[in-house]
Amino acid sequence: MNTAMNTAMNDAAEAFRKLLEAQFLRLEHMNTERTDFSRKETVTIGIIDGDGIGPIITAQASRVLEKLLADEIAAGSIVIKQIYGLTIENRMACGQPIPADVLAQIKTCDVLLKGPTTTPHGGTLESANVAMRRELDLYANCRPVCIPEKNIDWMFFRENTEGEYVLGSHGVELPGMAVDFKVTTDLGTRRIARAAFDYAKNNGKTHVAVVTKANIMKKTDGKFTAIAHEVAAEYPGITVDDYYIDIMTANLLKEPLREQFQVILLPNLYGDIITDEAAQIQGGVGTAGSANIGDQYAMFEAIHGSAPRMIQRGMGDYANPESIIKASAMLLRHICRVNAAERLEKAMEACAVTVTSDGAGATAEQYADALMALL
Ligand code: NAD
């Protein structure tokens, strides 16, 4: 072993020690009280535009929310607050995934509707989403996929604050190699598993599929599976089955087997990958919304990214806003505005206007106009 290697190993060991320290610190702050939106006098909704097609689709979702909540906005029980500065330009200039002043603004809100944000390849700038999930402790990523005519009604519960994802910007490079890390904690797994089983119980679901790669990632995924089963024992009447992520990607395409899946519980990275597949089965990423829920804050967004190529091709106005409008319906449910959520969901079902990214269909704005006429 030469001196350069020894130095690199010592530096890496020190980086690993710091990373573990941060994880222990995170564990200490993990248990917080849940906000009860049914009792909250004023709910502040922050709107974050994001990058690329973000401002285009977010503007339409914002119009829809403002129409649905007009009376409450006038009465002051709902406040809509525009949050500026979560742009790739500003994040790069500050060298922060969420610039400190923007984060301070975000923390004055209860819930957020967020447009997609660009994450540069390589470099060290962390994804704004990963940072947001960590800063606001948004541990449950809920992604519904529903295709009634195919008998598909899936709800994915993806763990949002652990796994490879959260440590992805903290890997180490040594001579001739690079190493990344993955973390799974007892508390972190228990709370996402509870969220999934609570959802199943409260929505008449009888089956939860736990999806990992525990045969290979024995420690982290092994822990995830074991704790999911401990939690399952508290929910009689709900059955639980384990699947490996590789076969699960195939199962989602397999008829009629896929119809049996109801609630699907996964660690972070697998959840990220498989929900894009599920969204594609539903009609594309432009049709899928998602919720990022914590005990105090919650953030709602489309599952897709900022579609930079659509912007480069000058087709940004044809980005489908259905994804973020569906996320808005999830936001309304989360803050206990169930009637408004149902009005929106029914209008979306009835809306015959389609947006196609090739420009043959309506623009995002035309879609929102048609939708709002149905509200
Ligand atoms: P992407 O989701 O932006 O695009 C994938 C494909 O889907 C492209 O063909 C795009 O044109 C299409 N598409 C996406 N949204 C659409 C919509 N609303 N209507 C019509 N077509 C749509 O994925 P990508 O190209 O891998 O990522 C682009 C950037 O977005 C990257 O910087 C990535 O890090 C970021 N990203 C952000 C989020 C987020 O903020 N939640 C999520 C994923 C990716």
Which domains does the chain possess?
Answer: 32-138+294-375 (3.40.718.10)
Spacing, Cα 39 to ligand 1 middle (Å): 36
Percent of the chain with pLDDT over 70: 100
Ligand 1 atom nearest to 321, measured from its CA: 18
Nearest CA to ligand 1 atom 27: 305
Half-sphere exposure of 335 (CA within 13 A, CB side): 29
Spacing, Cα 305 to ligand 1 middle (Å): 3
Give pLDDT, residue 166: 80
Spacing, Cα 11 to ligand 1 middle (Å): 36
- How far apart CA 333 and CA 323 sit, in angstroms, is 16
Q: Is pLDDT at 35 greater than 80 in this prediction? A: yes
If one residue of 304, 317, 320 were mutated to test the ligand 1 pocket, choosing by the most ligand atoms within 8 A of its CB, it would be: 304
If one residue of 141, 306, 365 were mutated to test the ligand 1 pocket, choosing by the most ligand atoms within 8 A of its CB, it would be: 306
Query: For 203-235, what is each residue's pLDDT tens digit?
Result: 899 999 999 999 999 999 999 999 999 999 999
Give pLDDT, residue 112: 98
Pocket lined around ligand 1, Cβ cut-off 6 Å: 53, 57, 116-119, 129, 285-286, 301, 304-310, 319-320, 323, 357
Give pLDDT, residue 31: 72
Spacing, Cα 150 to ligand 1 middle (Å): 26
Query: For 296-318, what is each residue's pLDDT tens digit?
Result: 999 999 989 999 999 999 999 99
Ligand 1 atom nearest to 120, measured from its CA: 32
For residue 274, what are the contacts with CB-CB under 8 A and spacing of at least 6? 156, 211, 245, 248, 249, 252, 264, 266
Ligand 1 atom nearest to 308, measured from its CA: 28
Token pair of 220 as six digits? 């982290």
Q: What is the mean pLDDT of the chain?
A: 95
- How far apart CA 295 and CA 140 sit, in angstroms, is 10
Mean pLDDT on 239-248: 98
Q: What is the pTM of this model?
A: 0.87
Ligand 1 atom nearest to 310, measured from its CA: 11
Sign of CA dihedral 87, 89, 90, 96: positive
For residue 77, what are the contacts with CB-CB under 8 A and spacing of at least 6? 41, 42, 43
Nearest CA to ligand 1 atom 44: 305
Is the distance from CB of 12 to CB of 173 less than 8 angstroms?
Answer: no
Spacing, Cα 357 to ligand 1 middle (Å): 12
Spacing, Cα 56 to ligand 1 middle (Å): 13
